[in-house]
Amino acid sequence: MPNAIISWFRRRRVARSNRKQRAVTTRLLIEAPPIPPHPKLPTQRRGRLTPTASHESLIAASNAATANSSFFTKLPIEIRRKILIEAFGGQTVHMDLIYDHPPQPAEEQTEETLRKNGGQRPHGNFNVNFHHGITCDRKNLRLDDSQPKEWAWRSSVCHRNSPAHCHPGQGVQPGEDYCRFGQSPWHIRCLGWPGEFPTKCQIGAMGWLCSCRQAYVEGIDVLYSTNTIHTASKEMILSLTSILLPQRLSSITSVELLWDFAPFPSIHPEVVKPPLSDMASFHAFLNAIPSTFPAVRRLHISLQGRIYPTKTVNGSTSWDNNIDRVDEILHPVDDFVLKLKPDVRRDFSLGIPSSLYRSQRDRALKNNDPVEQDYRGQPERHWRPLKGAGESVGYWVWLGNKDLTMPIICTMGEGGYHRIIGEDNWVFYSF
């Protein structure tokens, strides 16, 4: 009898604690201020910067401003363009619009701080806690929680790969890019890039664009048309036509888009999904791409997040290992690719997390579809044919974000991890 009474009191205490926790969570959700609208283009511009044939005054003003400039009067436009590409073009650049607390001021890079961080410098001069964990994500950024959240632009040159040209496909894939968090794989990539820190992480185009109208006209085209634009901002992607001018969007030829979402029910009921994580938002994302980037010629999409399929039976949610459930995500991509122009389709690729990629690759091997594997010295990808569209119509599916963690295994002298996991599966795991 005493044990029954003690058990009853324990159950009451746990239930009361859970009710209190739910009340606190509900209060926090109610008190959380709504996210304000992101900045948009004004309905009426204060002044035009780019001259057109219908604005002769702008053309005259531009010519007058550069009349005494040797750069503009003596160098032909082809040479000027090559110089500008060397300055801030022909690379991958980050462009993100983020709603968050502002970053804390960057630490002064003294010998002591460098020694404390093991000689590591944060990408883009962010304030990063390198010892927070082994993963690269937002949690490692030191943000100023005393300041309210606000919309802010973040941009930088992408340093996820070393400046030395590596074999195509052997570099770090877009899904493993963490430059927007002030980090890069193993936090050493920035060290290999030439230039002084931290300016070498910055695009460095603003000074030139603000110098005069003609410099702006030539520089803004180089900035948008010769660089690969990499972004992971979902809100920005869906409404980019209200943020950038149509002529800027028409200049973009190469993009890398990261879409982080959670389309299936979570096995953990307490998990709160971020905005735009449902399947309807994913469809809206795919539908928005053709009109947002009308001149794109190279397109890569990386899908990531909690996207492994689940099933709910009798109110209980668990993982669904049925390989065909993944097609609920890939079939919309198939339909999207079929609508692309043939020249764009040839340069389209999709990245998916290793938790999904492994089963899709095994199915491709079984169906004798082209498969290239990392352990053979090839890029890790497989060909996904589009049914009913011809033998040569399809697209490459790349190994994207590595969301599998290497399990702790006692090998007992049986050849180590490589033999147990397999050489072909080793690439799926993060360390």
Q: CB neighbours of 149 closer than 8 A, spacing ≥ 6?
A: 99, 100, 101
Whether 320 is covered by a domain: the verdict is yes
**How confident is the prediction for the chain on average, in pLDDT?**
82
Lowest mean pLDDT among 100-104, 235-239, 276-280: 100-104
Domain range holding 128?
A: 67-430
Residue-wise pLDDT tens digits, 78-136: 999 999 999 999 999 999 999 999 888 876 665 566 566 656 678 877 877 766 555 66
Say what the pLDDT of residue 25 is: 42
The whole-angstrom distance between residue 422's C-alpha and the CA centroid of its chain comes to 29
Whether 141 is covered by a domain: the verdict is yes
Whether 376 is covered by a domain: the verdict is yes
Given a cut of 50, whether residue 28 has pLDDT beyond it is no
pTM of the model: 0.84
Give the DSSP per-residue string, 302-316. EEESS-S-EEEETTE
Number of folded domains that form the chain = 1
Whether 15 is covered by a domain: the verdict is no
Q: Do 157 and 184 touch, CB atoms closer than 8 A?
A: no
CA distances from 149 to 74, 103, 144, 272, 273 (A): 49, 10, 9, 19, 19
Say what the pLDDT of residue 230 is: 97
Whether 415 is covered by a domain: the verdict is yes
Whether 129 is covered by a domain: the verdict is yes
Whether 334 is covered by a domain: the verdict is yes
Ramachandran angles phi, psi of 97, nearest 5°: -115, 115
- What average pLDDT does range 221-239 have in this prediction? 95
Whether 11 is covered by a domain: the verdict is no
